[in-house]
Each structure stands twice: as structure tokens, then as C-alpha cells.
Amino acid sequence: MYRISMLPNNDRIKEIFSDDHIRELKEYGNVVINEENKNPGPERVKELIRDADIAITSWGCPRLTGDILDAAPDLKIVIHAAGSVKGIVSPELWERGIRVVSSAEPLAIGVAETTLGLAITTIKHVWWLNQSLERGGWSEESYKVRELYDITVGIIGASRVGRHFIRLLRNFDVDILVYDPYLTGEKAEELGVEKTALEDLIKRSDIVSVHAPELPSTYRMLNKERLELLKDGAILINTARGSLIDEEALVDVLKRKRIYACIDVTDPEPPKDDHPFRTLPNVILTPHIAGLATNGRKRIGRYVLDELKRYFAGEKLDGEVVKSMLEYIA
């Protein structure tokens, strides 16, 4: 029987894992659950992970450094019940042959669905029509209401989120452009999209959706020059990371009422109380919630269990992260 250590605080565990999930975990062995409701520090993690074969981490867990791993010499796999593993991994994990899994896949589903929702409600001007009606109006003619039909959608980053968004867009009659330096022509053809340069994507798209990872090479990738390439009336959606966009330059474009923006992420977070994003009429601002639906977090718990099943069956792991991937993943 295996020893499985659940390291996140107890509130986090309950958010992600249902009672049925926990019962299923216990079928594999002895499950050690963190009963504290505060995020565990390194010393607490050493206690929880002692002699574990499997460790489950999530938001709020510290980096698994060598001194922590010394407490679990038989540790074989770490499954991160959250997205990016960059906050919890250390070189020692791979040096000791410990496998690492990210739960970015189930999170990507929620982010892609949110992106689609923002695209539909914005292109139909739902937000602004509602405000007009609240003021006593009743006229759709003042807004150019459109649909996801016969338009071009540009996706920056063929990440897990980007690929889920592409699959959702297959339900609509739209052309899809993708910019991603790691996307091969063969893969683009398989996805049914046109691979193109970033500037070309921005110029041609009616909707531009950002799904690139946060890396030194992507910092402010949407700078002043590129933002000025957006069509009049274009919609820019960012559910990735705030650092990917030059916010000052974006505010300048928005103040000229040339485009619309749906901003779920800012840099820093939260934005200042007087940030223009909070008051500009052509901006929809949400508080980094694209992938955080309360009931959707249980999807992560299901994914962790499915990965464990694949692990015990000796099958390929869907969310495995190897050290070389840290250069280009979120």
C-alpha cells in the first residue's frame, strides 16, 4: 500500500477534492491529510510528506527543496492540484527521479469557456446594452451587434487553454489564426487553424485572445506598436497574465474608443483603485476568475485521480512536466 500525502491546507483540499475523491484515494493506500487551515510552511510539509510515496500539492504549498525531499526518500511522484508547477518544483525533484504532474488541463477548460463567454457577450454588446436599458433606453441600433460568424479570431499561444478555445470555436463559422513559435505547421493543420506571425494576426483579427505563458520573452509582447495594429472595433481578451500587455499603451488605445477589451488579469493584481480599467466604458474587468469557478475546482480533483490511475497502470501521464519544459510553459 502506498503512502499518499496531501500537503495543501484543509480548506483548499475540500475545495478540490470531494468526499468520493478522498475515498477513492484511500483505496490506493494510507492518505495523510493536512488538517490545518493555514498554508503549510517548509517544516509542516516535512512532517506531512515524511515517508510518502506520492505527494499532492496545490496553491499555497512551498517549493519542494532538497531538505524537504530528504524526509521522503521513497517519493515517486508529485501531482500538483493546480496549474503552474513553477512555484513548487526544484531541480532536486528531477535529480532524484521524482515525476511531476500539473493539473493545467482541467483549469484550461474553465479558462477557455470563460474566454468564449467573454467573446460572445462582448461582440453582442450585452454589457453596454444592459447599461443602456438600465438608463431607460430600448434601442439596439446604437450598437453594431455581431455574432461569432464570418469573422476572424486570433489566438496568441496554442497552450492547453488556446487549444481548448480552438475546439470550442469549431462550433462557429469563424476563421482562426494562431501565433505560437512552438506550434508546427503540421500541428496547426491538425488543429484546423492558420499559423501566422503575431503582427499579421493582430491586423487581421476581429477578436484577439491572449493565451501565452508568462516568460521573459513574452513580457509586454503586446506593446504600443502592436496594439496600434488592432482593427477599429476589435475585441482584445486577456485571460493569461497581465504582464503580457503594456497596460499604459492599452489604456491609450481604449481612451480613443477604438477597441473593446476584456481583462481578467492585470499587472500588478489587483489594479490600483484609480486604474482606468475600472472606469473605461469599453472595458470589462474581472478579478482573475477565468479558471476559478467554485464547482469547477472539483474537476481538478477528478483529474488528479485519473492521473494516479494512469500512473499505477504504467500509462502515459497527461500532465507530466519534465525539467526542460520550464523554459516555455506557464
Query: 47, 95, 269, 315: which is the annotated catalytic residue?
Result: 269
Q: Which residues of 139-162 are buried (b: 16+ CB within 10 A; e: fewer)?
A: eeeeeeebebeebbbbbbbbbbbb
Position of cell 499561444?
Answer: 157
3-state helix, strand, coil in the chain (%, to 5): 40, 20, 45
Among candidate residues 77, 74, 100, the one with its CA nearest the CA of residue 88: 100
Which residue in this structure is represented by grid cell 468564449? 116
For 168, half-sphere exposure in the C-beta direction (CA atoms, 13 angstrom radius) is: 22
- Asked if 164 is an active-site residue, the reply is no
Is 269 noted as a catalytic residue in this protein?
Answer: yes
Catalytic status, residue 288: yes
Q: Which listed residue (125, 164, 226, 241) is catalytic? A: 241
Q: Using CA atoms, how far apart are residues 9 and 45, in angstroms rounded to an integer?
A: 10
Q: Find the catalytic residue in 99, 275, 288, 310.
A: 288
Q: How many CA atoms lie within 13 A of 93 on its CB side?
A: 21
Do the Cβ atoms of 69 and 93 come closer than 8 Å?
Answer: yes
Catalytic residues: 241, 269, 288
